[in-house]
Chain A
Amino acid sequence: MKIVLTPDWFLGKDVIIDVFSFIVLLLFFILSFKNYKLDKNKKFLFLGIGFGLISLAQLATIMTKLVLYFDTTFTKQIGQAIITYSVIKTVDIFYYLGFFFYRLFTLLGLYIIYKLPLEKEHKKDFFLALFFIIVISILSQDLTYLFRLTALILLLFITRNYYVVYKKNKSKKTLLLVLAFGILATSQIMFALSRQGSSISVIANLWELISYIILLTLIIRIIYHHGKKKKQNGYNIRYISNSSRKGRKH
């Protein structure tokens, strides 16, 4: 049975894409956590946890793929039944555990990001959602499309949430966020169809890479935009001061 749908020529390159995604997600986690330390706004903390979980998911898939690719080569070189058997067992454990945590952390992270704009959240709702996420993560071992479908639905809801934010603030940065999550959502459809042909898996990986490039662009714009801010005159000082003072309490 073929356990990785990626074509042979793309093996390794997909790991590079995963490493890139991991770094981008880690940057969002770090920035969210830094903002939480500055402002103590719990929404930063939860956003950070969301991105942190997805980055952990990426790490799990990177480790699993590395072990899978490495062990396969090792098995070919040794070519003895007993050793091969034990290697396959190691691969099996890594495969099941690694990809299980990938699915679990991805869905959990996406769920947290999706729930963030909603004002109230009951604890029992979260535990109910957690239960279903664990069930889906287990069942998706054989039914891969179930994981992809769940991720697609969550990503579509997240995209919708950020589109609502964009309609209010008309910010180009929020538009980038909408675009990135939208592309990430459509990549799930491609991943779900990967069994139809290995080239679809390659396209899905590349499509996913585009969304992470957009997210990296966004983070660069947030970090460096203020560093290059032009010096303003006295009139603007007063304007900035008054506008940011809206609603503040003495």
Chain B
Amino acid sequence: MDIISDILAIVQEKGGSIKPTHLMYKANLSHTQMKLYLEELMEKGLIQKDTSDEKLLMITKKGRDFVLKYHQMKDFEDTFGL
């Protein structure tokens, strides 16, 4: 969950789209790990290939909503010390 949120947050903070190699470097993941996570993210519709440039990965609306909900959850967790 933390890794998925990290990946999405990185794409979002990069303006919504990023090169897979940059993402791999910023998320500090190996190529194999990255591939697995990206497959899962695409399967869940949180990320997709950029329509204007297929080399880029783009965060979807569902992905942005997930990041928001995740941060709210973390905030809630910290506030209550859970």
Give the CA-CA distance A162 to B79 in the complex, in Å. 9
Residues of A within 8 A of B79 (CB): 171, 173-174, 177, 218, 222
Q: Of all chain B residues, which has the CB nearest A236? A: B13
Q: Of all chain B residues, which has the CB nearest A39? A: B73
Q: A231 interface residue, CB < 8 Å from B?
A: yes
Give the CA-CA distance A162 to B82 in the complex, in Å. 10
Give the CA-CA distance A231 to B15 in the complex, in Å. 9
Q: Which of B20-73 contact A (CB under 8 A)?
A: 26-29, 33, 68-73
Give the CA-CA distance A227 to B65 in the complex, in Å. 10
Given A232-B13, A237-B14 in contact, is the A248-B81 Cβ separation under 8 Å? no
Nearest-CB distance from A181 to chain B (Å)? 11
Q: Of all chain B residues, which has the CB nearest A161? A: B81
Residues of A within 8 A of B13 (CB): 231-232, 234, 236-237, 240
Nearest-CB distance from B50 to chain A (Å)? 18
Given A222-B79, A250-B33 in contact, is the A240-B9 Cβ separation under 8 Å? yes
Residues of B within 8 A of A32 (CB): 76
User: How many chain A residues touch B (Cβ–Cβ < 8 Å)?
Assistant: 42
Q: Of all chain B residues, which has the CB nearest A168? A: B81
Binding-face segment, A5-13, A40-48, A148-156, A203-211: A40-48
User: How many chain B residues touch A (Cβ–Cβ < 8 Å)?
Assistant: 29
Q: Across the interface, do A250 and B81 meet the contact criterion of CB distance under 8 Å?
A: no
Chain B interface (Cβ < 8 Å from any Cβ of A): 1-3, 5-6, 9-10, 13-14, 26-29, 33, 68-82
Chain A interface (Cβ < 8 Å from any Cβ of B): 31-32, 34-35, 38-39, 41, 43-44, 47, 116-117, 161-162, 164-165, 168-169, 171, 173-174, 177, 218, 222-223, 225-227, 229, 231-232, 234, 236-238, 240-242, 244-245, 248, 250
Additional pairs, 10, CB under 8 Å, beyond known A44-B73, A44-B77, A225-B75: A31-B72, A35-B73, A41-B77, A41-B82, A165-B81, A171-B79, A174-B80, A241-B9, A241-B28, A244-B5
**28 sample A-B contacts, Cβ–Cβ < 8 Å, listed by A number:** A34-B69, A35-B72, A35-B77, A38-B73, A43-B82, A47-B80, A47-B82, A116-B80, A117-B81, A161-B81, A162-B80, A168-B81, A171-B79, A173-B79, A174-B80, A222-B79, A226-B71, A234-B13, A237-B13, A240-B9, A241-B9, A241-B26, A241-B27, A241-B28, A244-B2, A244-B6, A244-B74, A248-B2
List of 7 A-B pairs having minimum Cβ-Cβ separation, nearest first: A165-B81, A237-B13, A173-B79, A43-B82, A226-B71, A248-B2, A35-B73
